[in-house]
Every structure is written in structure tokens, then in C-alpha cells.
């Protein structure tokens, strides 16, 4: 392009008129909060923009500080409360104002449950136009000290020559320095208190990628490293873990491996006298108490009989499949990741359950072409990821199942998939929330559908 054309003085306006000026990060603004969003943030409206304010509650007058702006959406953080919602409480955690983890600590636990119940009901009504015939009571556990797995963020600050250890800040890649976390189970809280000192004592702390902590049949610490560890650093880690009674696992370029070969690691499903092997990096429900209650409710709702064939989709390590196998004639369990299929099958064998079959399949695709679907099923259990199971449920009535339990970690996709199930003749009999993540706005739910 010539210089004359570049400087021709033409000005092009975007469609819709003049673009509104951006609001600078850090600006403070007084707002009136109207309601709570699905992620627990307060919603306010001002000058044609929608503000999402973390830390704010409905019907509050607040001052908020801008974190970032996207068009007419402003993300902000509470700075000051002028008029508080009567339900507001002091957040128990000293890191609440910065950490991006537990965003509902300022709301009493009973109010948190009511919010999650309302969000689930609104999604089902708005998207699917239905409500369950029966609302189940929330499945709950302790509101603190519940989390048996945690991923700890680690980053080397080359300028300050310091290793940052903690959890991600809200709406940021910054790491909040944390050496205690109220939602971790007690054994992991003890490890967390000493972890920053341990990692900073390494001769090359900059090679640490992240750390994962797990509490199950044993305690474990997985350290992900981006370059080989020195003999001295490995010795420091082994000494710490030995004194703390913690298994040490390392992960370089390949799979996580225990430093001491042959160590067993897993979690128990005590009501069923089951023990499932686990490796750091595998998916596992982080809340053991609610997980147990969830399985108990799923079994009660699905009511598998001794002569029935049951399908478990998105089976993971066998969290539902193995308890189901104790009641049904046969369980067919399907998972998308081959390594998980193999570990689930091994878990069935180690628990002396031989009426289970495990298969790998792409569960983002329809089921009809799968050989294991032949013969049909009396009942189906689904526990999909956040994307839901749209392709799976589109023709699920063809399997002949009269009862279907859907465990969801995203009410929006549960509601979307409910539309399909209702279209195929299923009725939403029961639904309720699972409080898997207290102090957060994350909503897990269970729904029972029956044919006819």
C-alpha cells in the first residue's frame, strides 16, 4: 500500500456505531448487584455493560475493581461493601480475596446449597421445560477438609530468583502463595504447610513443573519435572516423603512412576468392601464422602436386579461399575481412554468381580455401531465430562433401557441432554444436587429418567 493511500484520512466505523471506550483495569466502580450468575459472581448493569463481580452477593451495593473487559462485559472483584446481603459471612480462609479456588466462602453453606439447587432447577426449566417429579435432598459432606486431591501450581520467577508455590489467582496466571488450604483433607494440609520450604530447598527448583497431592489408601506426592533431577535433589525429596509417610511419584516426559516400585495406591469404597487402584493423573472424585453418597443414591435409583444387564458409560476406574457388578447379572463399562479401560478391568479382577466387561470407545459418537451395545440393557448409568453426552443420548432408547441415571458436572449440558431424553419418551423422575465442591459455585447433579 502506498504512503498516500495509508494517509488518505478515511475512517471506518464498526457496524453498530462508535465503539464504547474500554474501562481500564484497576478502575473502581460503585455498583448495585441484582442477582448471582451461575458461577457465583454478582451481576450488575451499568451504562450498557454487564458487570460480573466476584465476592459480591445479590441485593448488595458495592465498590468493585476492574480485572478485565471484553466488549460490554466487565469482570471485576469486590473491593468494598456499602450495603450487605443479610446472609453474608466473613470468609473463613485468609486467602479468599485473591485465590481463584473457593469463590463462595462469603456465603453460608446452606445458602450455597440453595443457590446450586436453584441453578439446576433454572437450567432444567429454561432449556428442557421440565422439572423432576421429585426433588432429592442435596448430598452433602463436610464444608471444609473434604478435598483428597489437589494440584499445586509452581513457577520459577527468574527475576526474583524465587519459586512461587500455591494456587492460581482469580482471572489471572499469578500464583497466590499458599501454605495452608482449608478445603484439603487434614493429611494433605500437613504436607501443604511444608511443601514450599521443601521445593525451595532444591538446588534447581526451576525444573519443577507442578505438584499433585493425593490421599487415599496411602498418601502420595507427584512431582512433575521439566529436566532431570540431581541426585541431591532426589535425595531431599525422598527424605521428606519418607519422614512424612508419603509415596513419592515422579513424572518427566512419560507416565508418572513411583520412586519405590511396587507401591500400591488407590482409594476405598468402604460400603462395598472395594479398593480401586489409582495413579496420579487419573480422574478420581475429590470428595470421598460425597462420592460414597453419590454411588449409594445411584444404586438406589437405578435399582439393578440380579438378572439384569447394566451399561456404565464414561466408567473411569470403575467407580460405579464395580458396585453395580455386585448387584447386576452383568455390567458393560465403556470409557474413552484405553489406559483407563485397562486399569478399570484390573480393578475388577483384583476385587474378584468377573461379571464385568470393559471397552474403549469414542463416546462423542453414537453407540449403535458398537458391538458391545448388541443385546440391549435394562438400565444405563452415565457420568460424562462437562461437555455432556449429547451423541450418546440421541438414540439411547434403542438400547431398551427402562431406567437411566445421569450424573452431571454441568447443569447446562444435563438440561440440553434432557431435551433429547424426553423426546425419546423418558420422564424425569428425580433430580438433586451433589455438593462435591463446597465453597465453590461448581454444581454437580444426578437425574433419574424412566421410560414410558
Binding site as annotated, residues for S-adenosyl-L-methionine? 285, 314, 319, 335, 362, 383
Going by the annotation, the residues of the binding site for [4Fe-4S] cluster are 93, 99, 102, 181
Query: Is 23 in a helix, a strand, or coil?
Result: coil
Contact, 448 vs 404, CB < 8 A? yes
Burial of 400 (0-12, 13-18, 19+ CB in 10 A): middle
Candidates 409, 415, 434, 445; catalytic one: 409
Residue 409: active-site member: yes
Give the Cα separation of 351 and 324 in Å (integer). Answer: 13
* Residue 183 CA to its chain's centroid (Å): 14
The DSSP annotation for 181-217 comes to: -TTB-HHHHHHHHHHHHHHHTSS-GGGEEEEEEEESS
In b/e form, how buried is each residue of 247-282, taking b as 16+ CB within 10 angstroms?
A: bbbbbbeeebebeeeeeebbbebeebebbbbbbbbb
Q: What is the dihedral of CA 115, 118, 124, 125, to 10 degrees?
A: -140
Instruction: Give the side-chain half-sphere CA count within 13 A for 432.
Output: 17
Going by the annotation, the residues of the binding site are 93, 99, 102, 181, 285, 314, 319, 335, 362, 383
Give the Cα separation of 210 and 190 in Å (integer). Answer: 18
Which of 92, 77, 79, 106 is CA-nearest to residue 169?
A: 77
Per-residue cell: 291: 462420592
Query: Is 109 in a helix, a strand, or coil?
Result: helix
Catalytic residue positions? Answer: 409
Amino acid at each position: 500500500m502506498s504512503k498516500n493511500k495509508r494517509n488518505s484520512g478515511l475512517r471506518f466505523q464498526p457496524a453498530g456505531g462508535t465503539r464504547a471506550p474500554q474501562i481500564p483495569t484497576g478502575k473502581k466502580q460503585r455498583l448495585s448487584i441484582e442477582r448471582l450468575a451461575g458461577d457465583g459472581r454478582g451481576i450488575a448493569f451499568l451504562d450498557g455493560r454487564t458487570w460480573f463481580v466476584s465476592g459480591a452477593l445479590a441485593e448488595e451495593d458495592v465498590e468493585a475493581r476492574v480485572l478485565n473487559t471484553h466488549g460490554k462485559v466487565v469482570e471485576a472483584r469486590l473491593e468494598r461493601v456499602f450495603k450487605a446481603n443479610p446472609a453474608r459471612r466473613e470468609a473463613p480462609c485468609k486467602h479468599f480475596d485473591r485465590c481463584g479456588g473457593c469463590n463462595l466462602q462469603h456465603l453460608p453453606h446452606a445458602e450455597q446449597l440453595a443457590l446450586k439447587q436453584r441453578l439446576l432447577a433454572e437450567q432444567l426449566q429454561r432449556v428442557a421445560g421440565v422439572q423432576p417429579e421429585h426433588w432429592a435432598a442435596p448430598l452433602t459432606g463436610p464444608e471444609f477438609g473434604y478435598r483428597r486431591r489437589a494440584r499445586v501450581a509452581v513457577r520459577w520467577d527468574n527475576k526474583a530468583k524465587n519459586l512461587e508455590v500455591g494456587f492460581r489467582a482469580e482471572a489471572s496466571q499469578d500464583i497466590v502463595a499458599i501454605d495452608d488450604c482449608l478445603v484439603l483433607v487434614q493429611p494433605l494440609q500437613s504436607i501443604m504447610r511444608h511443601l514450599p520450604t521443601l521445593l525451595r530447598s532444591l538446588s534447581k527448583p526451576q525444573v519443577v513443573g507442578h505438584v499433585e497431592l493425593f490421599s487415599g489408601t496411602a498418601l502420595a506426592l507427584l512431582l512433575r519435572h521439566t529436566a532431570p533431577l540431581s541426585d541431591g535433589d532426589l535425595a531431599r525429596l525422598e527424605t521428606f516423603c519418607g519422614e512424612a509417610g508419603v509415596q513419592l511419584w515422579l513424572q518427566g516426559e512419560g507416565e508418572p512412576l513411583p520412586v519405590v516400585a511396587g507401591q500400591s495406591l488407590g482409594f476405598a469404597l468402604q460400603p462395598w468392601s472395594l479398593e480401586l487402584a489409582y495413579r496420579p493423573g487419573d480422574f478420581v472424585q475429590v470428595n470421598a464422602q460425597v462420592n460414597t453418597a453419590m454411588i449409594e443414591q445411584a444404586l438406589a435409583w437405578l435399582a439393578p436386579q440380579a438378572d439384569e444387564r447394566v451399561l456404565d458409560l464414561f466408567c473411569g476406574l470403575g467407580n460405579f461399575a464395580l458396585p453395580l457388578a455386585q448387584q447386576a447379572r452383568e455390567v458393560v463399562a465403556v470409557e474413552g481412554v484405553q489406559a483407563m479401560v485397562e486399569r478399570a478391568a484390573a480393578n475388577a479382577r483384583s476385587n474378584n468381580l468377573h461379571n464385568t466387561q470393559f471397552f474403549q470407545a469414542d463416546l462423542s459418537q453414537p453407540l449403535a455401531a458398537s458391538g458391545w451395545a448388541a443385546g440391549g440393557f435394562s438400565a444405563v448409568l452415565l457420568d460424562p465430562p462437562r461437555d455432556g453426552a449429547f451423541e450418546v443420548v440421541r438414540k439411547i432408547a434403542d438400547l431398551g433401557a427402562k431406567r437411566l441415571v445421569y450424573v452431571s458436572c454441568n447443569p447446562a449440558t444435563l438440561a440440553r441432554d434432557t431435551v433429547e431424553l424426553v423426546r425419546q419418551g423418558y420422564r424425569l423422575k428425580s433430580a438433586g444436587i451433589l455438593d462435591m465442591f463446597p465453597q465453590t459455585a461448581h454444581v454437580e447433579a444426578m437425574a433419574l429418567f424412566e421410560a414410558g
